[in-house]
Amino acid sequence: MDFAGKKMKLEVNKNSPRPSDIQLVEQALKMARPWGLEAEVMWSALIAAAEANEHGRTMEEVLVEALDEWDLNKEGKGQ
């Protein structure tokens, strides 16, 4: 997903014992937190995830789409 021409990328720490999808969810929530949009971003992610299997999208793509829907950039600053 793009934010004003910038590609948003969530990062997985391969050395973490936590599952990669959980790490991605944690990052999305962290980006949404300064504006109290955690529930909204997760709601958007759930809506996107309902279609993800049909279109072969990954959890990262679903979360980035959800963040984009609420105008949150990589630094967690609203657009």
Domain ranges of the chain: 18-69
Is 74 in contact with 8 (CB distance < 8 Å)? yes
Residue 9 has pLDDT above 50, yes or no: yes
| 54, two tokens | 């049909």
Q: What are phi and psi of 6, to 5 degrees?
A: -100, 135
Task: Give the pLDDT confidence score for residue 4 in this predicted structure.
Answer: 44
Question: What is the DSSP track for 32-46?
Answer: HGGGT-HHHHHHHHH
Q: Specify the pTM.
A: 0.72
| 21, two tokens | 């999808």
Residue 50 has pLDDT above 50, yes or no: yes
Under DSSP, is residue 6 helix (H, G, I), strand (E, B) or coil? strand
Task: Give the pLDDT confidence score for residue 55 in this predicted structure.
Answer: 85
pLDDT tens for each residue of 28-47: 999 999 999 999 999 999 99
